[in-house]
Amino acid sequence: MARVIKERADTIAQLAATFRTYGFNGASLSVISESTSLGKGSLYNFFPGGKDEMAEAVLDEVSDWFRLHINEPLAAAGNPAARIEAMFTSCEEYFSSHQLVCLFGAFALSHEQKRFEAQIFRYFDDWAAALTTALQDGGWPRQEANALALDIIAGIQGALVIARARHNPCTLNALLMRLRLTIAFESRAPFPTESRTLS
Amino acid sequence: MARVIKERADTIAQLAATFRTYGFNGASLSVISESTSLGKGSLYNFFPGGKDEMAEAVLDEVSDWFRLHINEPLAAAGNPAARIEAMFTSCEEYFSSHQLVCLFGAFALSHEQKRFEAQIFRYFDDWAAALTTALQDGGWPRQEANALALDIIAGIQGALVIARARHNPCTLNALLMRLRLTIAFESRAPFPTESRTLS
DNA sequence: TACGTTGTGTACTGATCGGTAAAACTGTTT
DNA sequence: AAACAGTTTTACCGATCAGTACACAACGTA
């Protein structure tokens, strides 16, 4: 019999895909076992903590990806507008090729928010901090940049909800395009008047 | 023994709360039975189709509420800006008092998107249509109003994601406040230039 | 009072759940 | 080849799952 020996890291991408498709509760061990081509024994060998540890590992992997491809580029040196544009592009590519699901967003809306609260909080917090940095580098005052960063991240998450609801990947591109233009438009007035600040 | 005879309609609000808290998969029949104080016999008497029918009834109830309190006021006569402001206010109240969860949004991000696709699509489509009407009444050209309506609805859904992620209801208010100002700001220029339209 | 309808409580089913235990296999080291 | 750690298969556990069956209780009507 042809046995294939795997490592823990090899399974995480498939685990992530399974959680994205079925959710945490819907991804039963038998479903996971089939999608990873791994028996329960192997799964518990890699993840002694069971499903919780699998989900944690997946969230960590996603966090790492975002830190590397989104947050660090956002906070790095270079043209601020280009950095932000790169964020939008990367997000489009990432979510389009990952079932239009942000696991952190999906978990935040579900009962798993309780179990993974700290990781979820940190994911959005890190993202917001990096985007705030880029916006500040682009000339926005600290407080306004902070609020605008949250607006944009919320806009991206909302775009994913609507794109999924419509079962139409183009919706994501369209909504993100308009999100981009919102910044470009607002940034034409480098010093926002108080009428646009949060009371 | 004090038995309380209920009707099907009496249970739907509690069912909705249970689905919001635990999600579709997480809301097992025993959880539902406890939260509704109803035995399985009663539940299957009211909902012969089981959990699927319960969820469908809940989604229908939410749809009806939004049609009555959001969509119809949006599309009715009166000051367009006031109608839109009423939408924001109603949404704030509704979601703040409903665990910061929009069931349609949560289902859209989960595996239940498949099962309830039609209802989910219709919910957002009706909402977008009503909001588009209000925006057109406020002077926005049809196509721009249509796109802006989707922006706003996505913004609201995203705000719910972030508010849940932060476990902080005030975040919803803050994000919705800035969403409002975005419209107010953009509408100062009643005839948007092509630089703000979607390519 | 008697009767049908509707709602309720309890016990049960087979299937599946998450998780465990241990034998059998694999590749590496010695 | 012998020993070993890491991986995989298989069988199994008690608990819970969604759903069913059915006797029984409350109600409206007559």
Which residues, at least 6 apart from B134, have a Cβ–Cβ distance to it below 8 Å?
Answer: B74, B75, B80, B83, B84, B87
Task: Tell whether A190 is within 8 A of chain B (Cβ).
Answer: no
> Is B167 within 8 Å of A104 when comparing Cβ atoms?
no
Instruction: Quote the pLDDT of residue A84.
Output: 98
What protein residues sit with their CB closer than 7 Å to strand D? A 3-8, 38-42, 45-46; B 1, 3, 5, 27-31, 40-41, 44, 48, 50-52
Name the nucleotide nearest B46; use CA and C1': C7
Choose the closest CB to A159 out of B154, B160, B171.
B154
Within 10 Å of residue A137's Cβ, how many Cβ atoms? 19
Distance from C-alpha of B21 to C-alpha of B27, rounded to nearest angstrom: 8
Helix (H, G, I), strand (E, B) or coil at A187: coil
| pLDDT score, position B7 | 81
CA angle A16, A20, A25 (to 5 degrees): 100
Nucleotide nearest to A44 (CA to C1'): C19
pLDDT digit string, tens, across residues A126-177:
999 999 999 999 999 999 999 999 999 999 999 999 999 999 999 999 999 9
Contacts of A154 in chain B (CB under 8 A): 155, 158-159, 161-162, 175
Protein-to-nucleotide distance from the CA of B42 to the C1' of D30, whole angstroms: 28
How many beta-carbon pairs below 8 A join chains A and B?
148
> What pLDDT, on a 0 to 100 scale, did the predictor assign at position B186?
58
State how far the alpha carbon of A34 is from the alpha carbons of A6, A21, A28, A30, B5, in Å.
15, 14, 10, 6, 46
pLDDT value of position A191: 35
More confident position, A198 or B79: B79
Phi-psi group of B96: left, alpha or beta (phi > 0 → left; psi -120 to 50 → alpha; rest → beta): alpha
Residues from chain B that touch A23, judged by Cβ atoms under 8 A, are 23, 25, 110-111
Note the CA–C1' distance, B4 to C14, in angstroms.
32
- Please name the residue that has the structure tokens 């100062």: B188
Counting every residue written for chain A, the total comes to 199
pLDDT the model gives residue B157? 98
Task: State the burial class of residue B194 (Cβ atoms within 10 Å of its Cβ: 0-12, 13-18, 19+).
Answer: exposed
Farthest-apart Cα atoms in chain B, separation: 71
Please report the pLDDT score of residue A189 as a whole number: 40
B88: pLDDT strictly greater than 50: yes
How far, in Å, CA of B183 to CA of A58, rounded?
A: 38
Spanning CA of A15 to C1' of C26, the rounded length in angstroms is 24
What CA–CA distance (Å, rounded) separates A15 from A20? 9
* DSSP symbols for B78-142: S-HHHHHHHHHHHHHHHHHTTTT--HHHHHHHSTHHHHTHHHHHHHHHHHHHHHHHHHHHTT--H
Please name the amino acid found at residue B8: R
CA of B44: nearest nucleotide by C1' is D19
Residue B195: pLDDT band with limits 50, 70, 90: very low
The values of phi and psi at residue A63, to 5°, are -55, -45
pLDDT at A195 over 90: no
* Residues B67, B73, B78: CA angle, nearest 5 degrees: 165
Distance B60 CA to D21 C1' (A): 30
Instruction: Confirm or reject contact between A28 and chain B (CB < 8 A).
Output: no
> Which of B109, B111, B123 shows the shortest C-beta gap to A26?
B111
The protein residue nearest nucleotide D18, judged by CA to C1', is B29
In chain B, which residue's Cα lies nearest the Cα of A193? Answer: B185
What is the mean predicted confidence (pLDDT) over B100-125? 98
- The model's pLDDT over B131-152, given as tens digits with 9 standing for 90+, comes to 999 999 999 999 999 999 999 9
Residue B162 contacts residue A154 (beta carbons within 8 Å): yes
Q: Is the pLDDT of residue B159 over 80?
A: yes
- What is the rounded CA–CA span in Å between residue B35 and residue B175? 32
Q: pLDDT tens-digit profile of B165-192?
A: 999 999 999 999 999 988 875 554 443 3
- Which two three-digit tokens encode residue A192? 């926002």
The pLDDT value given to residue A8: 84
Interface of A with B in 132-171 (CB under 8 A): 147, 150-151, 153-162, 164-167, 171
Which domains, ranges and CATH numbers included, belong to chain B? 57-187 (1.10.357.10)
User: If you search the block for the tokens 């803050």, which residue do you land on?
Assistant: B174
% of chain B beyond a pLDDT of 70: 90
